[in-house]
Amino acid sequence: MSVSLDSLASGRRAVNRKNNRDAILDAARDVFAEIGYGGTTVRDIIRRTNLASGTFYNYFDSKEAVFNALSEEIGTELRQLLRDVRQRATSFDGFIEAMFLTYFSYYANNRENYMLTRSNRGRDGMNEVMQGPQVHAGFAELSDDIRQAIAEGVIPQLDVEFLTASLGGVAFSILDEMMEREPLDPEAAEQFATLLSMTGVRGNGG
Amino acid sequence: MSVSLDSLASGRRAVNRKNNRDAILDAARDVFAEIGYGGTTVRDIIRRTNLASGTFYNYFDSKEAVFNALSEEIGTELRQLLRDVRQRATSFDGFIEAMFLTYFSYYANNRENYMLTRSNRGRDGMNEVMQGPQVHAGFAELSDDIRQAIAEGVIPQLDVEFLTASLGGVAFSILDEMMEREPLDPEAAEQFATLLSMTGVRGNGG
Amino acid sequence: MSVSLDSLASGRRAVNRKNNRDAILDAARDVFAEIGYGGTTVRDIIRRTNLASGTFYNYFDSKEAVFNALSEEIGTELRQLLRDVRQRATSFDGFIEAMFLTYFSYYANNRENYMLTRSNRGRDGMNEVMQGPQVHAGFAELSDDIRQAIAEGVIPQLDVEFLTASLGGVAFSILDEMMEREPLDPEAAEQFATLLSMTGVRGNGG
Amino acid sequence: MSVSLDSLASGRRAVNRKNNRDAILDAARDVFAEIGYGGTTVRDIIRRTNLASGTFYNYFDSKEAVFNALSEEIGTELRQLLRDVRQRATSFDGFIEAMFLTYFSYYANNRENYMLTRSNRGRDGMNEVMQGPQVHAGFAELSDDIRQAIAEGVIPQLDVEFLTASLGGVAFSILDEMMEREPLDPEAAEQFATLLSMTGVRGNGG
DNA sequence: CATGAATGAGTATTCATTCAT
DNA sequence: CATGAATGAATACTCATTCAT
């Protein structure tokens, strides 16, 4: 008897713990997206929750900590998708194309994460254009891909860091433009990004 | 004693008014650059000044107002430079090239304004990738230029908004990369940006 | 599994109850000594224990309650020692001497209790120079002894309360001084305390 | 005109500043005395004042800072009195006697400072029986006096630190006892303290 | 117009205590 | 009886802004 009770208890507790953590994360995601990281207060977050103020601190140490958890979540998700792309890629062109499409599609399908990412940009000491640690890691992987493509003679010997930054810049800026349009069209965004990146303004696009 | 001072006032006041305003702007520029917009308090700003806290409000309504004034200053300066470029341009290629060089050189020569611009990115409600009202205006002009180039058949019929955003994105991201290098090399940055923008990765660069 | 444990419970529980209570008391003694009564939190105490926070309240009602239990423990121990002294005493001089020696030796041998006593002094509403209820009780007994000594003509007719307080004050202040010296020398402390108390500065000491 | 206005202004300001500071100190003195240092909150202090909460921090950095200011005030006052005593003293006996009388009288006439001193005892890290920095300094001076008296052969070669501590202990403990009596009788307290200190229990008192 | 003290709403965080399991 | 998550009251301190001088 007491065995089953105990195991029930611990099970329920674990579930509840998970639920509460998720509730906080969900609330935080919304608030950050709505009023930005800087403007968000811990009170704003818990207010959107059934929890008491103190409960927040059972799960996260600070506002920054929740934010990092969210960033990590998105970054990990996105980076995994991009790794899958990398593995399936058979050509550099196809790789870049798939990367852009994956990237734009991800945010098209997760608008709240897009909003969060934008609010990210405002964190103090986080003013690298929009680079949390996750983005940084993603860029490092991209740099490696570029280096390899250069080594294999697939693309010319360009400045790797400049190119990495540029591709990121193109992705970010087109993402912002795409998110303002209705309906969302990740394919169109991808096509433009690919075209510009691969052949430039002079390319046979249009 | 203060009576004689008073009698000098009318002339001196105008000067002083300008001086005080400038003192606040200078202090603000430094503080924003150092500790970011979010972290900066009005007290931080006036502390770097000989003025009293209340005096701040004789010149600006709020922290945001000083920031906007600074942004406007930079934006106006930069936009004027870019207009000069536009007027002197004889070809689209030359125009883009000169735009990039002017842009990179400006920040290379005004590091504190670069820092300020970065801190800008973090403002709440200012999370458009990097768009203060000035940047917005600058982008509008660039869009016009692009539209005209398309109309004249100088470049293919690309999506104007996407292209404008992309050029901005490339500029911003390469700027960040450039500012981390020593020595600062605006020419190298310009060459890369131009090459990528005009001919893409596939271009005969390297 | 837990069923068989349950059947052992009735015997084991009593043991465990004692163990847990002692574990809490031990932890509390250390923490109070280290960071003082005011700074100590209930969490600090249970953290040094294998127990859960809620368990604390199965044994004590509050931080104050543990503290009182510890005080009582020390007070009871010390008072018992002093009662033994009283019983063995054959003269007032010998009584005082033995009292001091017992007192100083006790704390020399139980430094953590000394630390605890010091932290005691800081309790709110416990600001009588150094008087927990135990000390109060001890003082009452000492007052009786003094009264009796006066009645028996062994010592002059001094103000009993003043004298009791003074002997306590001398004891406390010399204890503090003694505890700062290395090595601890309760005999020296006792000799000084006795000399001063019995014959004053003018005594033939030195 | 503007001169007189200006000087009036700065004068009034200074007065007001002084008044506010004093108001805070007075309120703090009362609260500390009533509910002890540990239990006192900054809010408790400003609540007894007409000032706003933020105003507190225009004058003091923290609760500790006000307390230190008060302690210093009392300590300085008392030490000055004791220095006067020292200068007027013509014999060691007379010196000790006058010291005790001054000490007891001071607190008899400043009950709120007595209460404050008692609350002092409870500060964390301030658990030396009741020694703020002021008391410490006072003790150092007393030690010097004792050393000199020994050097001059006026009193036997006693352990100076023990004796200093003991005189302090006697003073403190008798003070506590005295303050509980009605009416306050500093002379009686002084006589007892002097008698005990100089001739001990065996003295010809009573 | 300059001053700088006063204001008081606002925020992060802690902690003793409760209570469902 | 043990557990430890949830609670929410409480506190210190900051800061933009006002306003009397």
Range of the domain at B152: 64-199
Amino acid at D37: Y
Assess whether the previous peptide bond of C183 is cis (omega < 30° from 0). Answer: yes
Which nucleotide is the nearest neighbour of B55, by CA and C1'?
Answer: E2
Confidence of residue A121 (pLDDT cuts 50, 70, 90): low
Which residue minimizes Cα–C1' distance to F2?
Answer: C55
Query: Looking at residue C130, what DSSP letter applies?
Result: T
- Per the rule left: phi > 0, alpha: psi between -120 and 50, beta: everything else, A63 is alpha
Residues in chain D: 206
Instruction: Look up residue C24 and give its two tokens.
Output: 């809490």
Decide if C168 is inside a domain.
yes
Decide if C54 is inside a domain.
no
What is the predicted pLDDT for the residue at D16? 77
Query: Is the distance between the Cβ of D43 and the closest atom of strand E smaller than 7 Å?
Result: no
Residues D56 and D89 grouped into a single domain:
no
Q: Across residues C40-57, what is the average pLDDT?
A: 93
Question: Cβ separation of A206 and B38 shorter than 8 Å?
Answer: no
Separation CA B169–CA B119 (nearest Å): 17
Q: What CATH number did the domain enclosing D44 receive? A: 1.10.10.60
Residues A89 and A182 grouped into a single domain:
yes
Which nucleotide is the nearest neighbour of D65, by CA and C1'?
Answer: F12
* Cβ pairs A/B, distance under 8 A: 169
Residues D78 and D146 grouped into a single domain:
yes
Separation in Å, CA of D192 to nearest CA in chain C: 7
Residues A80 and A171 grouped into a single domain:
yes
Residues D80 and D163 grouped into a single domain:
yes
- Structural domains in chain D (count): 2
Query: Is the distance between the Cβ of D55 and the closest atom of strand E smaller than 7 Å?
Result: yes
Nearest to D149 by CA among D203, D198, D76, D79: D198
Decide if B178 is inside a domain.
yes
CB burial readout A19-58, b (16+ within 10 A) else e: ebeebbbebbbbbbbeebbbebebebbbeebebeeeebee
Domain-terminating residue out of D37, D60, D83: D60
Residues A13 and A90 grouped into a single domain:
no
Residues in chain A: 206
Q: How far is the CA of B52 from the C1' of F19 (A)?
A: 14
Residues D69 and D141 grouped into a single domain:
yes
Residues A55 and A140 grouped into a single domain:
no
Least confident of C24-38, C177-191, D124-138, D160-174: D124-138
pLDDT of B119-148, one tens digit each? 665 555 444 444 566 677 788 889 999 999
Sequential DSSP letters for B25-63 = HHHHHHHHHHHHHHH--HHHHHHTSSS-HHHHHHH-SSH
Decide if C3 is inside a domain.
no
For the cut 70, the answer to whether the pLDDT of residue C124 exceeds it is: no
Decide if A70 is inside a domain.
yes
Question: Cβ separation of A129 and B119 shorter than 8 Å?
Answer: no
Q: From the list B38, B174, B176, which residue is nearest A128 (CB)?
A: B176
Query: Is the distance between the Cβ of A12 and the closest atom of strand E smaller than 7 Å?
Result: yes
Residues A83 and A12 grouped into a single domain:
no
Nearest to C166 by CA among B45, D171, B170, D58: D171
Query: Is the distance between the Cβ of A62 and the closest atom of strand E smaller than 7 Å?
Result: yes
Question: Cβ separation of A174 and B162 shorter than 8 Å?
Answer: yes
What is the predicted pLDDT for the residue at C38? 79
Domain-terminating residue out of A60, A84, A109: A60
Q: Does C177 contact chain A (CB < 8 Å)?
A: no
Residues D86 and D149 grouped into a single domain:
yes
For the cut 90, the answer to whether the pLDDT of residue A136 exceeds it is: no
Q: Across residues B11-33, what is the average pLDDT?
A: 83
Chain A contact set for B188 (CB, 8 A): 159
Q: How far is the CA of A60 from the C1' of F8 (A)?
A: 17
Least confident of B191-205, C175-189, D4-18: D4-18
Domain-terminating residue out of A9, A38, A60: A60
pLDDT of D18-73, one tens digit each? 789 999 999 999 998 888 887 889 999 999 999 999 999 999 999 889 998 998 89
Q: Across residues A149-158, what is the average pLDDT?
A: 93
Instruction: Look up residue B41 and give its two tokens.
Output: 């308090």
Q: Across residues B21-33, what is the average pLDDT?
A: 93
Sequential DSSP letters for chain A = -HHHHHHHHHHHHHHHHHHHHHHHHHHHHHHHHHHHHHH--HHHHHHTSSS-HHHHHHH-SSHHHHHHHHHHHHHHHHHHHHHHHHHH--SHHHHHHHHHHHHHHHHHH-HHHHHHHHHHTTSTT--STT--HHHHHHHHHHHHHHHHHHHTTSS----HHHHHHHHHHHHHHHHHHHHTSSS--HHHHHHHHHHHHHH-TTSS--
Confidence of residue A11 (pLDDT cuts 50, 70, 90): low
Helix (H) or strand (E) holding B78: helix B63-88
A27-41, A77-91, A135-149, range with greatest mean pLDDT: A77-91
Decide if C36 is inside a domain.
no
Residues 1-60 of A with CB under 8 A from C: 1-3, 6
Residues A116 and A170 grouped into a single domain:
yes
Residue ranges for chain D with pLDDT beneath 70: 1-14, 119-134, 204-206
Question: How many helices, marked H, and strands, marked E, lie in chain C?
Answer: 9, 0
Query: Looking at residue A123, what DSSP letter applies?
Result: S
Decide if D189 is inside a domain.
yes
CA torsion C187→C191→C197→C198, rounded to 10°? 130
Separation CA D129–CA B152 (nearest Å): 92
Q: Does B122 contact chain A (CB < 8 Å)?
A: yes
pLDDT of A44-58, one tens digit each? 999 999 999 999 999
Q: From the list C96, C121, C159, which residue is nearest D129 (CB)?
A: C121
Q: Does C159 contact chain A (CB < 8 Å)?
A: no
Residues D67 and D161 grouped into a single domain:
yes
For the cut 90, the answer to whether the pLDDT of residue B178 exceeds it is: yes
Decide if C160 is inside a domain.
yes
Q: How far is the CA of C76 from the C1' of E13 (A)?
A: 40
CA D37 to chain centre: 15
Question: Cβ separation of C162 and D192 shorter than 8 Å?
Answer: yes
Query: Looking at residue D96, what DSSP letter applies?
Result: H
Q: What CATH number did the domain enclosing A129 receive? A: 1.10.357.10
Q: Across residues C104-122, what is the average pLDDT?
A: 83
